[in-house]
Copies of this chain bind each other. A is one copy, B any other.
Amino acid sequence: MTTKPASIRDVAERAGVSPATVSNVLGGRKPVNAALAERVREAARSLGYEADRAASLLRTGKARIIAVLVPDLDNPFFTSVVSAIETSLRDQGYEIIVASSNGSEATELSRLSAMLAWRPAGFVVLPCSDDFPARSRIEQAKIPYVIADRITRAPTADTVSVDNEDAGAIGARHLIENGHRNILVAASVLDLGNIRERCEGVAAVLAQQGLAASRIETGGDFETASARLSRWLDDNTPPTAILALTNFTTLGVLAALAERQIAIPQSISLIGFDDYAWMRARATPLTAISQPVQEIGEAIWARLKARIEGDTSPPAHIQLKCTLKVRASTASLSPTDSFSTGAV
């Protein structure tokens, strides 16, 4: 039942011209007589003609596809990056193909290979690990790519990330300024460089006060984060503030505190990571470290586009700053408190 879509020949025939002329009119590459051009356009319109991208790609070798590979399509941070990239590309005649590596290096490699078969113009990878073993595969394909969010060691391509040390530091500073001395850092997975850097940012600020933070590794997803946090709170004396280093750990902390009916910020102050609507839609809106998602998307596309257009300058490593959204989940400790729990 499936009829074939109109081809360039159909259009040519209908307009009484050659296929080449149709191509020139529609592609706008060569000048064509105005009247003819109008006839061609009219024919194309009436046939609902749209050039077959596969054929076009095959001929030109230029794909107008951007492949985007993320660790998890159910994590709003990753989808927001995809969305930001899509917004940037929208009007430039590019299409996005997406896939999720599901946090597994093996599927990361297989999905990457599969997407590479489309000979995309460019590739965006948010690796699921710092090792990024699929890297050799993409490099051998000699396709422009940018690595985002999680940055491979010694990257040989453009990278876009946030300044993770600074992200940790602004959170820690805010807590210190509010008199907190007993701080728990809730890190997701310390195997990830970006998480370690956030930790280091926190540590550096605390060290200036002669302090050190407690730290817990919560795991990547909400459920285990919540469970591990709960256990930790059972086994340790509670901190006066918790600094969560990812969106899911933020949720884990909230769940664990809620379960124990620990009041935020009266008993424990909390800084969340990322900035979503649900963080604001609360009786106690969350103070949060916000990643500039839109700019991340724009920066990714800017680099990729430059490479696609032939830029051969050395790899650029773009770091964007996070900002602290101060809201109600962080409270000042009274001076006495801050001294009593204070430095060594």
Contact = CB atoms under 8 A, between A and B. Distances in A.
A255 B276 CA distance: 13
Nearest to A80: B74
A2 B117 CA distance: 15
A83 B58 contact: no
A48 B83 contact: no
Contacts of A117: 50-53
* Residue from A83, A98, A278 having most chain B Cβ neighbours under 10 A: A278
A113 interface: yes
A41 to B, nearest CB: 15
A258 B285 contact: yes
A222 B281 contact: yes
Contacts of A254: 278, 281-282
Interface residues of A, number: 64
A80 B254 CA distance: 22
Interface string A69-85: 00001101001101100
Number of copies of this kind of chain in the complex: 2
Contacts of A1: 142, 312
A141 interface: yes
A140 interface: yes
* Residue from A74, A140, A141, A282 having most chain B Cβ neighbours under 10 A: A74
Nearest to A223: B277
Interface of A: 1-3, 5, 48, 50-55, 57-58, 63, 65, 73-74, 76, 79-80, 82-83, 86-87, 90, 93, 95-100, 107, 111, 113-119, 137, 140-143, 222, 226, 248, 251-252, 254-255, 258, 261, 276-278, 280-283, 285, 312
